[in-house]
Each structure stands twice: as structure tokens, then as C-alpha cells.
A and B are shown apart, each in its own frame.
Chain A
Amino acid sequence: MEAKERVNDTEEKEEAWSWGAGTEGQLGTGKLQDEHIPQLLPILSSLSLLSCGGAHVIALTPGKMVLTWGRGTSGQLGHGNLVNSLEPKPVDLLNNYNITHVSAGWNHSGFVSESGHLYTCGDGSFGQLGLGDYRSQNCPIKVSCFAFRHVEQIACGMRHSLALLKGEHGDQVYSFGSGKRGQLGTSNEKIKSISLPRSVSGLEEVKVSSIIANGDHSAALSADGHLYTWGRGFGGTPEVCCPNRVISPFSFTQATLGWNHALILTDEGEVLMLGGSHHGVLNNPQKENLAKQDSNEAHLQKIHGLNRIKVVGIASGAEHSVLTTENGVVMTWGWGEHGQLGLGSTSDHTSPQVVRLGENVAHEHMTSKVYCGSGFTFVVRTQRGKRD
């Protein structure tokens, strides 16, 4: 997402690491097993964007090549078959499209091209491919309904998708797929499912900078730092069928969604959490409610134990959370049964713990980008060293 510019007089070394649930090949290690400690992936040296789904991964290389691996049984890898792939494999069909944005959902995938076209594949049982039917596809198919529009981003959830369109008439967010929990945000009533994109209501006046989907949750982050959420509630709050602004005195720069929680990064480098009554929860008894809200609204909690460390990136798995600091340190917390916290055990943690990535210690020339699938984690770490 925020690809760092390369500086001529420095040397960059990029490393990709993965850990957690791995029995579908989603870790890219070439093995079908869970990993409790971070695994260095030698084959993935340079990546510009990663997106992790239920058990598959989509990666974009700087040369705009699309690689996928992991579970392929619904066609979500786009390889033209229904087979899992233990190692990153190019999606040949997208070679000439200059793909700039990708998203991996539970069992479906979305790809956006430089020219503004959207392609989808994988499970379509709920209409989440946006192709006007309920069929699944094993090769990326162009969403024809957007043929004359400019799609900029795609976000794939469990059974639904969001698309961000840019144009003369401003930004527009569209949704398609299952709406049982209100995650489509298209009307005041819940819609069972739609297979053709429909406009999300209530965001017409908002300049949307990014869209987020996971589980039965949907969200949009505005350019002026506001977060809107809809779909399944957080922490026992009711479902919301239309975008609802999260009330907070802070300005937000990034937001990620799990299946029962949301993580939000403020412009001051602090992390807040919404919901998390299940495994993503921080059971800190001293948790501080930042805004006094009525019981129908989820409480925003500050993540404790960070001691004013500046956070620059966040990611949410279904039930675990990952952050990275300005020195490239990676921390995890939440559900750990599959080793998705990368701490060498299967224990859960209620506060952020530092993950050891090989022997290298964090320093000022290091940055990390963090990504989560349902039960697994990926980190791409860049080290810049001055040339002699």
C-alpha cells in the first residue's frame, strides 16, 4: 500500500516471513504444516503488495506480476483449476493487465488493473464475484458492470466484496455478495444477497481513501481521517445496515478488520481497537474507554503495553492482531492456537508481544509491512544500509 521510494545511494534488502496456520499451503513455505515461529521465504524477495484471505494469499511484485498460493479449492487462486498451491505461482491470465490492487477474501479474490477494471475469481455462491450470478470461477473474470467505470480498490470479506470507484462524480463505494449481516450497506434493510454491484448508501459526500472488508464486516476510511463501519456489530453491538461513523477525537490513518474486532491507527501512531469479545479481545481490566457512548455503539479501546512506541502499520487476522513500529519491530496478540502470533507457542495473548524475526534486531533503517490471513501472518521487512 505505502510502497517506499527507493533511494539511489542506499542498498535495500527485503525479506518475506510467514507463520501460523499452514495446512493449505498458505504460508508459501512449500510445506503443509502450521509454523509457530517466523519462516523466512527465500523465493519471495520483492513484493509491493500482499493480501491474505481465509487460506490463500495474493501478492503483487514491483513488476506488476500477480502471484497466488494456498487453498485453491474454490478457484480463488485464478490458476484455472481447483488445486491448492504450496508455492507462489503467477496468475498468467492477468499478465498483461498491469494489476495495481488486489484483495483476498475467505475463498474469493479480486484484482484491479491500472486502467480501472476489476477481475474476480473463486467462490461465487453468494454473488461475491459481482458477475451477476452465483457461480464460482477458477480464472479471473472481468466484472462487466464496471466496464466503463474506474475501479481503484477492491476489498473481499467472507461472503461479500466492496469496490471503490473514482470518477467525475466523486468517489463511490459499491458492494455485492451476502448482505445477511448488513455488510452491503446498500439500504436500511438487510438484503440476503446480490450478485451485481450496488452503491453503498450514506457515503456520497465522503472522500473515501480506502475500503476494508473481513468476516461480515465492512468499513471505509475517509481522506480526512474518519472511519465508517457497517455490517456485523462489534463486541455485542447490533448489526448496522448503513455506514456508521466511529465517534472519536482522533484522526485515523489506517483501519483493519477481523471477524469480531477492528484495529485503528491514529495519526499520532496510537492503536485503538473496536470490539473483540472473542479472541481478538484485550481483556485488560484497566482498559480505558476513550469516548462515552451509548450501549448500542462499540467501545473504542486503547491498546495498552506499548509505552508510547510509535506504531506505523497494523493488520488483523480473524482473531489475532499484528502491528509494526517505526523501527520495524513486529508485535502480535490475540488468538494463538495455530502459532499465528509467531511466538513459538500456541498460547493466546491479550497484549502485544514482540516477534523475533531471525537474528536481526530492529533499527532505524528497518521498516516492516504486516499482513494477516484468517489464521496466519505475513511480514515483509526492508533494511536500508548505506553503501561503503
Chain B
Amino acid sequence: MSYDDVEIEDMEWNEELKAFTYPCPCGDLFQITKDELKIGEEIARCPSCSLYITVIYNMEDFSDQKSKTNIEPAKQQPVAVA
């Protein structure tokens, strides 16, 4: 069973993982790539455990024909160095 339903705009783009992520209760992150979203995948998995979430998004936002301007997920900000 899906652990939760999460809207794509509530996921964070992780540049290192090249994936949209959302916190997993195990401490790791649920992850889904743009390529997966493009082909209509809606399950984001956690690499550390058996849990997964259902990602709510509009597939057209990720198809090649459309520009990427519609997608505005929460961006990870650079860490300020004190």
C-alpha cells in the first residue's frame, strides 16, 4: 500500500540525486526522476526501505513537447557558509 499521496509541488528537486524527493519515515528520501515522470510513472520509492508514495502530477508537464516552465517544485537552496 502506498504510504502517502504527495503532490509534485511538495517534492524537492535534488540536484545530486537528479530526482524529485520527499522525506521517508525511515530517514531516507522517496525519489522519482524526470524520465520516470515523463513515462507516467507515479510511484516514488525509497532506496532504503520497502515504502513508496504515489506522486500526484500532471504528466503533460513533463512530456517532451511542453516547456519546463510549468514545473516549479520547492527548490533546494544552497547552504550559506558562515
* Residues in chain A within 8 A of chain B (CB atoms): 21, 23-24, 26, 54-55, 71, 74-75, 80, 82, 106, 124-126, 134-139, 141, 158, 180, 259, 278-279, 317-319, 335, 337-338, 373-376
Contacts and interface: CB of A to CB of B under 8 A. Distances in A.
A55 B79 contact: no
Contacts, number: 71
Interface string B29-57: 00000000000000000001111000000
Nearest to B76: A125
Given A21-B48, A278-B3, A337-B49, A138 B27 contact: no
Contacts of A335: 25
Given A124-B77, A125-B74, A136-B79, A55 B49 contact: no
B71 interface: no
A51 B26 CA distance: 17
Interface in B55-82: 74-82
Given A158-B23, A374-B26, A23 B78 contact: no
Contact of B27 (A24, A82, A278, A279): A24
Contact of B23 (A106, A125, A141): A106
Contacts of A125: 12, 74-77
B50 to A, nearest CB: 6
A158 B10 CA distance: 12
Q: In terms of DSSP, what is the predominant structure of the interface of chain B?
A: loop
Nearest to A136: B79
Contacts of B81: 80, 138
Nearest to A279: B25
Contact of B82 (A23, A71, A141, A374): A141
B27 A55 contact: yes
A123 B25 CA distance: 17
A180 B70 CA distance: 20
A57 to B, nearest CB: 12
Given A126-B74, A136-B77, A180-B10, A375 B82 contact: no
B27 A374 contact: yes
A137 B27 contact: no
Q: Return the 5 tightest CB-CB contacts between A and B, nearest first.
A: A318-B25, A139-B82, A55-B27, A136-B79, A375-B26
Nearest to A137: B80
Nearest to B1: A278
B20 to A, nearest CB: 14
